[in-house]
Amino acid sequence: MIFYFSGTGNSLYTAKKLADQMGCEIVDMAAGRKEKHEFHLKNEEPVGFVFPVYCYTLNDVVFDYIQNLEITGNGYTFAIVTCGASIGGTAGLLKSELKKRGIDLANVYPLVMPDNAMFYYNIADKKQAKEFLAEADKKLDVMMEKIQKKEVGAISSGLSSRLLRPVYHAMASTKKFSVTDECIHCGKCERNCPDQVIKMKDGIPTWEKSKCVKCSACINRCPVNAIQYGKGTRKRNRYENPYI
């Protein structure tokens, strides 16, 4: 069983590859993340968590889902955390939160993939992104071999990531989002928002809450680059995993 969350497709791509090889189902953590979810493991099946790191800490979708997760039965539990460069202390924070639910996390694998944080700087173009993905595929193959062997790894305390949770929340403001006249009123941003923050009003997306998960799905996956964040994003590259 693979639990995943994905904003622009990297973690979904990873989860699907894992599920195909392991012959198991995938579960979207963004669906009813604040509702109670119960699962029973059969025949010591492995359990994986696949998601992106934001601000070197657990994003709110994953954090909330774990608080409401009940798993019975024994199975090797691992995580693959996708990132643009580093996951910081996210592994330790994930381990401690899962432990509260009686789930023992055996290993965490950081997987560098194309960055989507174009709120803050320019990211790779499409050619560079495909090169990063090709390298990530090779690393993922190695990770899958280790997962099949049920390797156990050392995991840090996660204190730094716990301390960064308030910083992440401070950076999650929706105030700077705006929409240009290029908007084609397709509603894709509303459908892709895991927070259900975006609502279409008279064909124009509006951000109904002051904060969001900051997954960047809306701005990166807009088909005409009509969504902007502040004044600096108009000329920056967008990213969506091309294989999803």
State the chain's mean pLDDT as an integer: 95
Task: Give residues with Cβ within 8 angstroms of 20, minimum separation 6.
Answer: none
* pLDDT band at 74; cut points 50, 70, 90: confident
Phi and psi (nearest 5°) for 127? -65, -45
Q: What's residue 42's pLDDT?
A: 83
* pLDDT band at 75; cut points 50, 70, 90: confident
Report d(CA 187, CA 205) in Å as an integer: 7
Q: What's residue 173's pLDDT?
A: 95
Report d(CA 52, CA 42) in Å as an integer: 27
Is it the case that residue 206 has pLDDT exceeding 90? Answer: yes
Quote the pTM value: 0.96
Tokens of 58: 């657990």
Q: How far is CA 46 from CA 58, 62, 73, 236, in A?
A: 21, 18, 10, 40
- pLDDT tens across 111-168, in order? 999 999 999 999 999 999 999 999 999 999 999 999 999 999 999 889 999 999 999 9
Strand partners, 230: none
- pLDDT tens across 13-57, in order? 999 999 999 999 999 999 989 999 999 988 788 999 999 999 999
